[in-house]
Amino acid sequence: MSVSPQALGTGYSRWLLLGSLTLNLIFAGAATVSLTRHSAAVPLEPVAHLSHGAEHRLDRIATTLPEPDAQIMRSFIRAQAAKVVAAQADLRVSQDDLRASLRAKPFNPAAVRAAMAETSAARDNYDQVLQDVIASAAAKMSPEGRSKLADWPPPRPQHPEPMITQ
């Protein structure tokens, strides 16, 4: 008994079609899982979370204070976190706008100057918000805590001059 070449080709094509269909279903499933994973529901109200930089900066100040005053500082940091986060977000957006205006084609110096002014205003606002947190906390601190706060930043250790030999 012999098998005709046409019959052999038809069976091979069916297996090839079935394999291709299987691979396509696997890829479609993987794409669906990926999209589902990356498009999880976003909360309607953002959770106020200080960035590592602002949190670290304010916590470094708190660590130099007597413990009761450090607790006061940290409570004010937590209470004002939303304001700090908003000011920081505004600063970042203005910095992104500045970068975009510097890369714009055609280049527009007036747009760059306006973006620089926006960034400067956003940085001033961010600094003001941080200073308000510190001033509000200081109003509740002990005289010793305010004195330590007045010494901020602590003096940096002096490195000895390298000895030069001839």
Predicted local confidence at residue 41, as pLDDT: 38
Angle between helices 109-138 and 52-63 (to 10 degrees): 30
Does residue 88 have a pLDDT over 80? yes
Domains in the chain, number: 1
- Asked whether residue 4 is assigned to any structural domain, the reply reads no
Bigger pLDDT: 127 vs 166: 127
In the chain the first and final C-alpha atoms are separated, in Å, by: 101
- pLDDT, residue 47, reads 39
What average pLDDT score do residues 96-111 get? Answer: 95
Compute the chain's Rg from CA coordinates: 31
List the single range of 41-55, 66-80, 107-121, 139-153 with lowest mean pLDDT: 41-55
Q: Residue 86: pLDDT above 70?
A: yes
35 domain residue, yes or no: no
Q: Are 98 and 118 in contact, with CB atoms under 8 Å apart? A: yes
- Residue 31 included in any domain: no
Q: In this structure, is residue 44 part of a structural domain?
A: no
pLDDT band at 53, cuts 50/70/90? low
Residue 116, in any domain of the structure: yes
Mean pLDDT in residue range 114-132: 95
Is 33 inside any structural domain? no
Q: Which domain holds residue 114?
A: 52-150
Residue 28 has a pLDDT of 65
pLDDT at 44 (0 to 100): 33
- CATH number (domain holding residue 101): 1.20.120.1490
Higher pLDDT, 6 or 40: 6
Residue 123 falls within a domain, yes or no? Answer: yes
- Specify the pLDDT at position 39: 43
Q: Does pLDDT of 158 surpass 90?
A: no
**pLDDT for the residue 30:** 61
Per the model's pLDDT, the better-predicted residue between 67 and 165 turns out to be 67
Percent of the chain exceeding pLDDT 90 equals 45
